[in-house]
Amino acid sequence: MADPLISLFDAVLSDLDGVVYAGPHAVPGAVESLLRLETFGVGLGYVTNNASRTPAQVAAHLRELGAPAEDHQVVSSSQAAGELLASLLPAGAHVLITGSAALAHEIELVGLKPVHSAAESPVAVVQGFNPEIGWKDLAEASYVVAGGAMWFATNTDMSIPQARGMAPGNGTLVAAVAAATGKTPVVAGKPEAPLFHAAAKRLTADRPLVVGDRLDTDILGGNRAGFATAAVLTGVDTTHTILAARTDERPTYLLADLEGLYAPYPEVISDDGTFRCGAASAVAGDGTVTVTGAEDDLDAWRAACAAWWARFPDMAVAQAPQVEWRTH
C-alpha cells in the first residue's frame, strides 16, 4: 500500500474559510482530518488574511468548532506585517495604523509604536481591514504615504464575505489610498510570501504543504513561498477554474477535501502526449482537452490538468479549454 500524501510533509499550513469552515459551520470531515495530523507527527498552522481579529480570537473560534488550535498556531497577515516592519524599522519607530486595534497590538508586540495621526511623525503606514474605517482615516494615511513614508498592507483582498453577501474588502480601501497617492504598498499577507514564511518559521517546518480553496490567494501565495500546494474543492475554486489556472496559480495537488491528505496521491503518467491518472486519461489539443473517464472522478480532472498544463506550461492569464468527455 502506498504511503498517504501527508507523509511527504512535516506541516500543513491551512487556510480557514472554505477549507476548515464555511460561514459559522465546519466543513464536513475537516475537523476530524485536522485532528489526525498529530498521529502522523505533522505540525499545523492556520494562515489568515483577516487582520481585524486577533489570532487568539481566531483560535477560540476554531476550538468552538472542535478543531485543534492553540493561539500560536494562527498566523495572521497583521502578524506578518508586524514582522516585516520590525525587520525594516528601528525599535520604537512610529507607525500609523489604518486598521483595527488587533493590528495596532501586533505592531506594538514587535517593538514599534502605533500612532493614529500624521502629527505624530510616523515613518511608515500599515493598512489592514477594519469595518469602522472612514474617509478621515484614509485621508490621514494618504497624507503620510504621499509624504514619503513606507507603506504596508496586511492584504489586498478586494471582497470579504458577509452574511448579506460580498462586501468591500481591505483591497478596496488600499486602492483608495493608492489612487490618491499614486503609490503601491508592500503586501504582507496572501498572495505574497511573507505570511507563509512566517507560518513555516513558527512551526520550524522544512516541508510544509499549503492547503487552500482559492487559487488567487492560497495557491499563488504558497507557490510564491516555494512550498508545495494543494487545492481543495470545498470553497471558492472548482475543477473547471483549477484546470484553467494560469501558471503561477496551479496547485501541486488537487484534493476533494482535507480527508484527501490521508490517501495515497495517484501518480500521473505521461505517455507520448497522453496523461494517465488511475483509470482516466487525457490528451490536450490547442483549445481542447479530451478526457477518457467519468466527470465525477477526480483522477480524470488530475489527468486533464496534467495534459493541459503540459501543453501550455507558461500561461500568464487563466484560459479554460473545452473539455470533451469520453467513456472507456
Q: Are 115 and 97 in contact (CB under 8 A)?
A: yes
Q: Residue 130, Cα to own-chain centre: how many angstroms?
A: 20
- 237 in catalytic set: no
Q: Which of 10, 15, 157, 218 is catalytic?
A: 15
3-state secondary structure 79-141: HHHHHHHHHHCCCCCEEEEECCHHHHHHHHHCCCEEECCHHHCCCEEEECCCCCCCHHHHHHH
Amino acid at 34: L
Q: Is 212 helix (H, G, I), strand (E, B) or coil?
A: strand
Which residues partner with 127 through β-bridges?
A: 98, 153
Instruction: Find, among 78, 77, 76, 71, the residue nearest to 95 by Cα.
Output: 78
Q: Are 224 and 247 in contact (CB under 8 A)?
A: no
d(CA 286, CA 265): 28
> What sign results for the dihedral spanned by CA atoms 255, 259, 265, 266?
negative
Cell triple for 141: 494615511
Q: Is 26 helix (H, G, I), strand (E, B) or coil?
A: strand
Which residues partner with 34 through β-bridges?
A: none
Q: Which of 10, 17, 157, 257 is catalytic?
A: 17
Which residues partner with 167 through β-bridges?
A: 160
Instruction: Find, among 192, 216, 209, 208, the residue nearest to 84 by Cα.
Output: 192
- 17 in catalytic set: yes
d(CA 304, CA 320): 11
Which value, in Å, is the radius of gyration of the alpha carbons in the chain? 21
Instruction: Find, among 168, 167, 115, 108, the residue nearest to 143 by Cα.
Output: 115
Give the active site residues.
Answer: 15, 17
